[in-house]
Structures are given as C-alpha cells and as structure tokens.
Structure 1
C-alpha cells in the first residue's frame, strides 16, 4: 500500500503542470458501497509522446483527488487488489465522480448469498445465513457423492429425519420443527412442494453444486408460505473460465451402492455451458437380518445441463433443464427377489422434468430487473401393501422483481405466481385432483443506517385460491458494536397451507401416511397454519497475524405455530385399517432453543464444534407432550488436517433427549465418521470414507418391524438403520 501511495503522489507531482480541472473521485464496492482503499486511478494510456499517465490512489475513505485533469480526458481506469479493473467515463463539468468496482471472481474469502435476492455478501446481511461453500461441495462430492444429506446433517441446527423404514426417504428438521416447515429451493426456485417434494429431495448429488445457503428462522416474506423453521437454497455452479473444466467420479460402498458422476463447464466468450450427468445403482440390503431391507434398492439417473448467455455487462440469461428418473424398492427381501411375491414390498417409479430460467438486466447503474421461473412435471407410481398410487403434478413458478439502489438503501419490489396442479391416474387411492394457485407481492428494503447499524424490513401479501389471504411482515436488524462483533435480530411471520403430501411426520402413533390410506382434504373445515418467529444471533469473527482464524456464533430462536395441520385417524376404514385425514390440531406448537457454532482454522488444521439445544412441544389445554422425533440435544464436531497431498478428517455427533409419541423417550446415541483423502497434481483424488464407524443401529435398541411379512408394522425411525457404511471414491478433474 505504501508503494502505491508513493507512486500516486509522484504521478500527481509529475502532471501538476497540465490542465485546469480538479476532480474528487470516490471508489466504492459495487455490491456493498463500501470504500475501496488503495485503488489506483489513472488515464488508460499515455496522452502523447510528451504527456505522461495521470493518476492517483484512494485513501482510507476511498477518496482520491486529481488536480489539473485535462478536459480532453474521456475515461479513467481504476484497479484494486481483489477487484476487476474497470474503465469509467469522466462526466464533463462534474467536480465529484463515483466509480464502483466489481469484486473479482477469484476473491477467496468473499461469499455472495443469492437466496436473499439482493446478491449481498454474507457479512453484510441483516439476517443470519450459513453457507456451505465450494470447498465443502468439492469435499462432499467425493466423500458422499450420491446426495447432500450427509453434509447438511453435519450442521447442529439441522436434523436429518428418515421418514420410511424401507424406502430410505429422508427429510430435514430445523429448529426442532417438523420437516414441512423447512422450505427447499434450487437456484432460488421453490421446486419441491406438494406431491413432487416428498421423495428424493436430498438425493441431489453435490458434484455440480456451488454452495448451499441455510437461512435460519422464519423467512416466508421472501418466498411465501413454508419457510417457518428455515430455508435451504441449493445453488448450482456456473462456468467461470474459458478453459474447459471436467470432473469424473466413481464411488462404491459396502451397501452395494455405486455412483458414477461427471461434470463439465466452460465459457465461450459471451456464452457458457455447464453439464452434469450422474447414475446411481444400489442393491437392496438387509443389514439386521430380519428379512426386511434397511437400505433400499435404487436405480437413479440425473441429467442437468445449463446454458448461459451474457450479451453485455448489463444483461444476463441462463436456462437450465433437469431430468431425474428413479426406480426405488424396499420391503421384504424375498418379495423383491421374487421368491415370496405376496410378502410386503414398497416400489416407487418416478420421473421429474424441470425447465428453469433466470434473466436480469441492469437498466441503469443502480437498477437491476430480474425475471425468473420454472416449469416442472413430476410423475410417480408407488406400490405399498399391494396397493397402487399413481399421480402427476405440474408446477409453475414465475417471478419478477426490481432491485433499486439509492443512497444507503437497496429496495426490492416484486411479484410471483405459484401453481401446483395434481392429477390422479387410476389407482387404489381415494385422492382427488386439485389445483392450488398462489399470487404474491413483496417489498423489501435493506437500509444501511450507519457504519454500525443496518435494517432489513419486508412485507408480503399472498392470495391462495383455496385458503385465502396472508399478510407477512418481517424486520431484521444488524448491529456492529465493534469490528470483530456482529449482532443480528429478526422477527418474522409465516404460514403453511394444508397439503396431503408434506406431512412427513405422523400426528399420532400408528397413524399411517401411505397414499392408499389418505382421505382428501376437507377444505371447508381445515384452515392454514400461521406462525411467528424470532431469532437473535451474536457472532465474533477475527483473524490473527499468527494465522489463526476464529469464528464464534451464538444464536437464540423462538417459533410459535397456531392450529398446526396434523394427520389423525378417520372414522372410515379400509382393509388396511383406519383411513388418515388432515385436521387442525386442538393445540398449538412452540419451539425455543439455542445454537452454538465455533470454527477455528490454523495453518493446516480446522476445527468445527456445534451444539444445538431445542425444546419443541405442543401447547394445548390437555396436550403438552414433546414433538416426536425432535432431538433436544445435538453435538456436532469436525477435526481436519490437510497438506499438499493428504487430508484427514474425523466427525462426531451426539443425538440425545429424543422422544416419540406420548413422551416416550428413546436412547441417546453417538455417531462417528472418518475420511482419508490422497490428492495428486490437482487432478486425482482418492477418498476412503467411513460413516457410523461404531455400527449404531436402531435395531440394537428395539425391534423395528413386527407382524406378518404380508402386512408388517414399522416402528417410527429415530436412529440409523443401515449401520456402518464404508465407501471408496476416485475423482479426476481436468
């Protein structure tokens, strides 16, 4: 910096004899409007043989002064470490100029969050967002290449709940609440609602992912109903280089799972392409020896190309297509093998097609107009207890928003339309066709009040064609009492409309959620759920000259849900037993808890520690039981060491104080995992990974399956079923 400053003074001395104009120039970050220190400002080339380059260097306030700038200078070049060099016009007659630099893509420590729509850096957001970045995705793609459930489960505030004993389906709990209160997005688009969201959301492979953004607490103002406990946005990669990037991965595990994934990306001038293709083959395995599959048989194929077009610096367009086909089967192993065809089996065949787009235009320096959307079709056939369910869902999401920056404000105004249309094919169920349409409008203002205070206020109004209107206000405040400290406070409201296909946790013991037992929703008597939530987050982040980096985060949260929609026994019955209907429970729900996050990095070492304590229970005149399958205590730790060729890591987690129904407590358990990686020449990576090294299984504590093999009864799943999993992966990157 001293060199740059000295050069700037020398340049000013040399050119002081030229021209008459005096210009004050402020250089800012284009995203945050923060001053850029030690930015060099100069004329792009020599003016002529005798006139030298004119320039200056910005001070701690991002300000530079150029004396005697000739009137014939039309542009100035501005450069700074960590930013792209820019060419800026000189406005005739203006004494003060403001130039804004874009952060370079190669900036390592800068994380941009897309889920908040303002594309702000994570440290500037008034709401708390945790990001699993590109490095995490690169590691996970080799450790557990088949899905993202493992990396999400490492976070203390997230609990991965398995919702079926035989087909391997999983769901996400945040802040102790049922999975339906966590909203899942793919590239900022809600694609996994209703019938299409109940199976395989976590089966997304991590190889073509850039990052996963986790927003904690109620953020329904941003994307509508559903984000009551939190929101997770899965962000795909985009091409960043004119050189081709190619990655291939082969993985095999002791559970007879094989993954073959490939990813390609490249920019071609103003266009670009990413392409992911993956195949998973997994045989059905009975680990416990009871005859029933603990790990299902899976044949899955994914294909995901995305095309990018940037005709100018102000216009961007990307279009993607995603295709998934899957055959999944579980149940009594002899039935799957054909030797005992009348025994129980659960077989699912599905296909998902999605076309999505995102177009943006900088209509001015401070205005960004965005239009995005997706059209998706989903078809699933499921055979359960010898009963067939067969249905299709078509989904549409369209959104337009306008981001305007003025002064210390970032104001975004927008509207979106969501359509969910379910059509039943001839089958054994009593389900009926429906079409849900939600039209919403929203406004959000990010106001940088001062250097130490930022405020984000939002308001959404949704109209649902079946369940009415919803007004959702939200307010967040960020405080910076001193440089290492950040305090965030947030209060928001939310809602969740009734849906047969999203209640992954039964409302009572033995109430079945399989499709042949579901009754249509009585829309005249079942109303939507409404919620209010509050989050407080205190963070300390500091890097020391010794190379030690410390990040400590302490969060507190509270959520209250009125009239939750739950599953209950109906008065009518079938040959499978009583039907299931959705009702508004005679109680409310609340969740209160704390979450502690500590990350230390020192040279080749990294340590993560997380502890979550949540009290989630019903709040009614006669029912104050704990929410089932919501652990009150969860520890998570990760220790890793890495050098030029090796990386070793050990993960541990503890799940404790977990209840089933009627306050029936189950055993606490520890979970250990370890991974060793060898990488050579930045091209080859060989990974040996072991999950659940001490072979913890629910069958060690109780009988999971009972009854005849033709119509068995399954206990609620509260612990791992598969036991120890060991896999070896080979990854090649060009």
Structure 2
C-alpha cells in the first residue's frame, strides 16, 4: 500500500511539473497590426515579442498565477491576471491605445526592465525615428539634437571629439551597448562611431552620477545604445544617403538564423574623400574618412525562455585632416602638416542567464583598441585591452522589496608611447584591477510611491577603496499624469591615462602631469518633475523638468592658461568644482499630424580655487534643441525641422596678443528634411543641413600658415604658435543630402 502511495505522489508531482501552458493571440492598435510588442509574465523570466503581423506566442508556462504584461513604445501598457492550471492553451487578443513616451520600457536607471513611469531614476528615451529626423554618419553626431547633450569637437584638424552631458566633459560620460560598458577613455572618442544606426532600437540617457550601478566614469551620466532583437528585426534593412560634399554613408542590416539561433548582422560604411577649404585657411574643413564597421548579434534559444545573447563589433577607420596638399607619404614628416589616425577596434559583449530557478545573470564585455596616429610629426601609438564581467541576482523580499545584487570585475591594460606610461628608463604599461560589489533595494512604500536605496564598493589596485551610495524617491499620481523624482548620489572617476584630452596631441602644446592623478569624487542632487496634459482637443503635452547640482572634490583639471605651451593636468587640491542648472523638455503631439519636441538647459559649470571662481572652458551656459515634424497623411509625406542653439563659451587662447575672440558667439545649426513613403518597404528622404551656413571664424586655427612653428620662439611669443585646439563647432557649412531606406519584414 505504501509503495502505491509513493507511486501516486511521484506521478502527481511529475504530472504537475510537466503540465505546461501557453497563451497566444494578436496585438493591434486602432485596428492595425502592432508588431514587436513585448509580452511577458511579470516577475518571471518568460517573455516574447509579437511578429511583424502582430501575432505572439508565449509557451512552456508552468502552472501558477501570473500577471501578463503587454507593452510597446508609444502605447499604454496592459496588465491581465491569468491562473494557468492543467495544460491550458489560451487565445487572447489585445488592443493597445496610443500613449506618450511615459510608458516606454527602460533598463538603464536600475539595470532591470521597467516602464518609464515606474522608474525611480529619470531616464530619457530616444527612438530610432527621432534620429532619422536628421540622419548623420554616426550616433555621435546624432546626439546634437538631444537637450543637455553636446558632441564636442576637440580638434580642428582631426575632428575627433567626445560627448558632454550637462556641461561635463567626455571622460565623465559612460557609453554602453545593450547595457554592457565600452569602458575606456578611448571609447568616449571612438565608441560612438561606426555603430550601424539601422540596428539601433532606441537610446537611453541618464543624466547625473550612476556610479552605484556602473562604477567609475559614470559621473556625468550614461548613454545606453539598445540594438534591435534579432527575433523582431526586419529581414533586410538598408539606410543610405549621400551629401553634396560627397559624403557617403550606408547602413545594412540582415536577420538570419543558424539552427535555433537568431542572428542579426549589421554593416556601416562611411566614406568622405573630397578635401574642401571654404574658410581659406589652407586646411581641410572636414576630416577625410574611410570607415567600416561590422556588428553581429546572436540570440540563442534556451529552455524556459532564458536569456543568452552574444554580440561583437569590429571597427576600422582611416582618417586624416591637415593642409590641403597633404598625402600619406608625408605622414609623420615636417614638410606638410597632417593629422593621420588609423584605428582598429574590436568589442564583444553578452548576457547569459544561469539555468536556476532564481534570476541570476552573467554579463560580460571585452574590447581591444589599437591606435596608430601622427599629429604632424608627433607620434601617438596606443593599445588598450579591457575585460569586464559581472553577476547580478534579481529577487524579491516580501511584497515591498525588489532587490538587485551584483559583483563585478574590470581589468584594464593600457600602453602608449607617451609619458603617461613611460618612465625615464623603461616602458611601464598601466594595469588596473577593479573588483566591486553593489546592491539596490527598490522599496514600495505605497502603490504610487517608491524608494530606491543603493550602494557600491570598489577597490582599485592603485587608488584603493571607493564607496558610492545613492537614494532615489519617486511619487506619481493615480492617473500617472504627474511624476516626481528626487535623487541624491555619489559618483567617482579614476583618471584615464589617455591624456584626458585629445586636443593635447595636436599643435604645440605639451602634456604635463603635476603628480599622480587621484580619483575624483562628486555628490549630485537632482529633482525631476514630469507633467502630462491631455487637452479637450486630445492634444497630448508632456513637460519634463529637472534641477541638478553636482559638487566635485579632487576634480581633475586641464590647465591651458598657466603655461600656454602646455596642458597641465592635476587634481584640484585647494578648491572645488560645481555643475548646476535647470533643464526642461517638452513634447507636443497634435492629432493633425504635427508634433514638437523642444528642450532647453541653463547651466553654470565652474571651478573655485583659492577663492577665485572661473567658468569651465568650452562650456556653454545655455543650450536649446528642437524637432518639429508634420505628416501630410494624404500623400504620405513627413516634414522635419530640427536644430539647436548654443550660448557663448570661454575659449582657450595662447596669450594676451592672441587675435582670436576669447568667447564664442551665439550660434545655431538648423536642418530640414522631407521623407516620402513610396511603399511599406521603401522610402526616400532628402534635405538641407546647416541652413544658416554657420561656421566658426576663419582664424580658428591660429597661424595655420606655419604649422611646424619654423623660425618662431613660441615660449617668448606664444601667440605666434600654431594652435588647432581652439574649437567649439565644425567647419562644415550648408550642404544638401539625398537618401533612401529599404526594409523587408
């Protein structure tokens, strides 16, 4: 009898375990198919997306009570509760009403997918259609239309640059692809070029310190580039255009399958080989470039829909700028001045969810960067290798605690031919070990009120221990039309030996380190308020305002003025630095096809040393951006008018007799574009960039007629030295462009 009872219990357990369920159906909106909609079970690892026709299938669901979440960018999220018991195969169709961007799914603020409304951390989301309003050769240039974010050129000749967020320079910006860091100073210069934009699903931006989750460098903010899922990407996509300056940019995407593995291949090719000198200074106005980038992403099918993705990217670029008659045979010589950069960079990153009942992920990334460059006759040869890995454990305690814990490790090996990694007698590459651990607890205080507590501990083998806490509070109204967020956090940054400033390698300035650079720390406070208004005419208005304040201790300062023949790097020992300001983003969506996205940022970034306060160089006090779109539905024609405006910046001069202006003027870059949809698979677009034909003053490159300072005593007469580091905007004037997009689902 006992054996029979054991057999019945075993059979019952086996039957319960093997009883799996499924749910399928179609997702629509206003009677039209809604492709690529997220359908997942809340607080589980099970999820899928609808296909190009709106159909979805979620299978292998164990018995139990679940909340099914149906979400898509631009539409209201739906939640339904279902109790699966006993091999149920449910058919359920959903219709999602349109909504503004508050319901977008974001991950960058907390490392977990959550609707934008429910995120305790303010996250700005920009879709691929936003960047298509002003097509550019790289995501680096596309960010010029994001409020509070400015692509900063650091070199008038080679046109390399970095990204400023709320006035903080590129080394403070943390760049990620699919949540994995492209950790390195070199990536702030090159990490945002060569990413095939046809594969970008959206870009998430967090402004302010995020070191608690991401570690060093995440002081000014993070830029997370989210690529398409192989399962939901188009079968073939092509996006290409050519400009009247003879720039050619092509993005190609291809989805394919190998066995049960979904894969996505992307190729970006950019070519510009037409030297132009409109300002008559003898130098190219735009750097000539030949770049190819190959991106491949694999999404492996696993039991219970567990995640396993691996991606890789390779970028090769040959760029040069300089005197108009420069050719490669003069590379590194003192006859004709040119800045020539060969870049070879590889990256790999991915996520693997462990086969456990608990949600444990292993995330990894690695990159190698080789740079072979000459700035005139100054050689810069650099190699950098970085490996990064982290385990995260996502769990809940009780009904009110949503906890994420993690351990991470980063290895950095950097070597170049400058004084940064060399002593008087030998070469000493910089090797850094950075293990760390972090924890965050998202506490539900009330149905519409959350508190996020986080802390991180890192140990740098050179600089010692660093502790980074943060506190975030969020409240939203019952109808989600009002959202208030308050945050206080700590950020830290370890100095990068890539000379901190690309401009240091050009012209006559020498790089000098006062002492060993120590890590800098910062405290940031941010208040964010979001208001959604729906008028009687069904016009949707979104207002997103923030007040921010960041206080830096031990800040790393680049001193251009003490000795104009040098750039002197050192920590700010006797003083502090501050970045403070206010920003406002607005979004108007009218039912007649008109939409307006506009933003403005007013800020003050300064350094106080020995009681004297000075504004940070190359930092505007005011900036504004806008994007105005109108769709003529009767002929399927979309019109876009985009632009930005910047206030004056203090600029680095070489002395009192330097003839250039000490401040930049107010300036604006404006563009128009028309896009005509020919069919569901084909559209053409064209327009004009830099409508106002703004370019900096013709003498921005000082003494361009004597780039090697022949016969000049630059110490006695610094204002007679060749200097291309005075740059705040590109020299490329008005031009037309024409392109096409082709897509097969």
Q: TM-score range by the shorter chain?
A: 0.7 to 0.9
Equivalent position to 2:114, from 102, 111, 120:
120
Q: What is the rounded CA distance, in whole Å, between the counterparts of 1:347 and 1:649 in structure 2? A: 36
Equivalent residue, structure 2, for 1:720: 730
Query: C-alpha displacement at 1:640, in angstroms?
Result: 0.5
Cα distance change on mapping 1:159 and 1:540 into 2, 3 Å = same
Q: Comparing 653-662 with 606-615, which one deviates more in the overlay?
A: 653-662
State whether structure 2 residue 583 is matched by structure 1 residue 595: yes
Query: C-alpha displacement at 1:269, in angstroms?
Result: 8.3
Cα distance change on mapping 1:556 and 1:275 into 2, 3 Å = same
Equivalent residue, structure 2, for 1:170: 161
Query: C-alpha displacement at 1:198, in angstroms?
Result: 3.1
Equivalent residue, structure 1, for 2:74: none
State whether structure 2 residue 138 is matched by structure 1 residue 131: no
State whether structure 2 residue 305 is matched by structure 1 residue 308: no
Cα distance change on mapping 1:192 and 1:157 into 2, 3 Å = same
Query: C-alpha displacement at 1:671, in angstroms?
Result: 2.2
Equivalent residue, structure 2, for 1:441: 437
Q: What is the rounded CA distance, in whole Å, between the counterparts of 1:359 and 1:237 in structure 2? A: 18
Contact 2:587 2:598 in 1 (8 A): yes
Q: Comparing 315-324 with 305-314, which one deviates more in the overlay?
A: 305-314
Cα distance change on mapping 1:429 and 1:713 into 2, 3 Å = farther
Equivalent residue, structure 2, for 1:479: 475
State whether structure 2 residue 417 is matched by structure 1 residue 420: no
Q: Comparing 225-234 with 110-119, which one deviates more in the overlay?
A: 110-119
State whether structure 2 residue 273 is matched by structure 1 residue 278: no
Equivalent residue, structure 1, for 2:673: 675
Give per-residue Cα distances to partners, 1:252-297, cap 9 Å, x unaligned.
Answer: 1122211122101256785311110121111243231211112111
Which sections of structure 2, spanning at least 5 residues, go unmatched? 1-38, 45-61, 72-77, 654-660, 710-721
Equivalent residue, structure 2, for 1:111: 104
Equivalent residue, structure 1, for 2:30: none
Equivalent residue, structure 2, for 1:289: 280
Equivalent residue, structure 2, for 1:354: 347
Contact 2:531 2:543 in 1 (8 A): yes
Q: What is the rounded CA distance, in whole Å, between the counterparts of 1:516 and 1:701 in structure 2? A: 18
Give per-residue Cα distances to partners, 1:135-192, cap 9 Å, x unaligned.
Answer: 335x25xx42411134311122112211110111121111122222121112212214
Equivalent residue, structure 1, for 2:250: 260
Equivalent residue, structure 2, for 1:503: 500
Contact 2:406 2:438 in 1 (8 A): yes
Q: Comparing 609-618 with 259-268, which one deviates more in the overlay?
A: 259-268
State whether structure 2 residue 623 is matched by structure 1 residue 634: yes
Q: What is the rounded CA distance, in whole Å, between the counterparts of 1:626 and 1:391 in structure 2? A: 32
Report how many aligned residue pairs link the two structures.
Answer: 646
Contact 2:700 2:726 in 1 (8 A): no
Query: What is the SS of the residue equivalent to 1:151?
Result: helix
Query: C-alpha displacement at 1:231, in angstroms?
Result: 1.0
Equivalent position to 1:687, from 685, 688, 692:
685
Cα distance change on mapping 1:547 and 1:387 into 2, 3 Å = same
Give per-residue Cα distances to partners, 1:101-140, cap 9 Å, x unaligned.
Answer: 9999999864221223111111110110000124335x25
Contact 2:392 2:407 in 1 (8 A): yes
User: TM-score under structure 2 normalisation?
Assistant: 0.79
Equivalent residue, structure 2, for 1:452: 448
Query: C-alpha displacement at 1:489, in angstroms?
Result: 0.4
Query: C-alpha displacement at 1:701, in angstroms?
Result: 8.1
| Pairing 1:255-654 to 2, within 5 Å after superposition | 255-266=245-256, 270-283=260-273, 284-336=275-327, 342-361=335-354, 363-364=356-357, 367-406=358-397, 407-424=399-416, 432-483=428-479, 484-501=481-498, 503-504=500-501, 517-518=510-511, 522-523=515-516, 526-543=517-534, 546-568=537-559, 578=566, 580-584=568-572, 586-603=574-591, 604-644=593-633, 645-654=636-645
Q: What is the rounded CA distance, in whole Å, between the counterparts of 1:474 and 1:124 in structure 2? A: 18
Cα distance change on mapping 1:299 and 1:515 into 2, 3 Å = farther
State whether structure 2 residue 181 is matched by structure 1 residue 185: no
Give per-residue Cα distances to partners, 1:555-614, cap 9 Å, x unaligned.
Answer: 10000111211234899x9xx965755454643210110001110001211011211100
Cα distance change on mapping 1:197 and 1:596 into 2, 3 Å = closer
Query: What is the SS of the residue equivalent to 1:149?
Result: helix
Cα distance change on mapping 1:622 and 1:694 into 2, 3 Å = same
User: Once superposed, what is the RMSD of the aligned Cα atoms?
Assistant: 3.5
Contact 2:432 2:460 in 1 (8 A): yes
Query: C-alpha displacement at 1:227, in angstroms?
Result: 1.5
Query: C-alpha displacement at 1:454, in angstroms?
Result: 0.7
Contact 1:350 1:378 in 2 (8 A): yes
Query: What is the SS of the residue equivalent to 2:615?
Result: coil
Q: Comparing 428-437 with 259-268, which one deviates more in the overlay?
A: 428-437
